[in-house]
Amino acid sequence: MLIRIGYDISFNFTAPTAMTFLLYVLPSRAADLRGPDQLTIEPAVPVTDFIDSFGNRCARIVAPVGITRVCNDTIVEDTGVVLPECWDAIQHPVQDLPSECLQFLLPSRYCEVDRLSDIAWQLFGDTPPGWARVQTICEWVNKHIEFGYQYARPTKTAYEAYEERKGVCRDFTHLALTFCRALNIPARYATGYLGDIGVPPDGATMDFSACFQVYLGGQWHIFDSRHNIRRIGWILMATGRDAVDCAITTSFGTHILENFIVWADEVETADLSVKKF
C-alpha cells in the first residue's frame, strides 16, 4: 500500500526565532519512502538536520520576522495490513530488560508513575502479565476517558487525565503508558500520521496522532488507547518519554500559528509531480 503523507504549516513571528521540528518519519521507515522526506521552508532559510537522544530525525532553523511556511509532501510504502496482535508476547522481568528500556519505566514530565502506581496495581494487578495486561489497560482508558478537543490543555498530565476523565489523544496515551510503566512494562510515547484507512472517516480535521509503544517479547509494539483497535497505516515520526520529547514543532520565542494542514491518504501511484501544497 502507498500512503501520501505531508503537512502545510505556517507561523507568524515578530522577531527572528529559533525553531526545532520533529516532522520527518522515523529513520527506521526511511527504506519505505518512495519520495524525498524533506522540509520546504518559505522564505528559504538554512535547515540543519540532527538526530536527538531518542533516535528521532530532527531539524532546526531560525525563522525570520513575518510568515514562515513549513511544508512536506511525500509517499511511504506500508504493509497495508492491520497491526498484528501478539498475545504470546511476554513481559520481561525488569532485571532482564535491555538497559535502554529502563528510562521508559520511570516518571517523566507528563507521566507520574509514582502517583498512579497504587491505582495501576489496584486496577490491573490481577490481569495476566504481557500483552493481555496492556490490552486491558487500553480498554479501561478508552472506556473511562471522554474524548473531546475542547478538553485539550498543554499542561495536562496523566494523573490529571485520570482525575478529570476527559482529554485528547495525547492524554489517552499518557495515561495508558503511565499505567504500563507502573506495572513494570517499558512504555514510550509516539506520534505520527494515522489516516482514515480501513475505517469510516470520523469527520474530524486531520491532525498528527499520538499512540504508545510497549516493550514485550523482545520488541516494541504499538498500542492506541484512543481508538482501541488495531489500525492500518501508522507512520511514526517520533518516540520519547512523553509529549515533551515528541513535540512536532518547538519555538524558542513567541509566534502565532496561521495555518495547520496534515494529510495521510492511500494512493495508487507514487506520483509526486503535483505537490499538495
Residue 201: its pLDDT value, please? 83
Residue type at position 129: P
Residue 102: its pLDDT value, please? 98
Residue 19: its pLDDT value, please? 98
What is this structure's pTM? 0.96
Domain 94-240 has CATH 3.40.50.300: no
Spell out, as residue ranges, where the chain has pLDDT lower than 70: none
CA distance 168 to 128: 28
Residue 121: its pLDDT value, please? 98
Residue 67: its pLDDT value, please? 98
CA distance 168 to 160: 12
Residue 183: its pLDDT value, please? 98
User: In the chain, which segments carry CATH 2.60.40.2250?
Assistant: 2-77+248-267
Fold of 2-77+248-267: Immunoglobulin-like (2.60.40)
User: In the chain, which segments carry CATH 3.10.620.30?
Assistant: 94-240
Give residue-wise pLDDT tens across range 93-136: 999 999 999 999 999 999 999 999 999 999 999 999 999 999 99
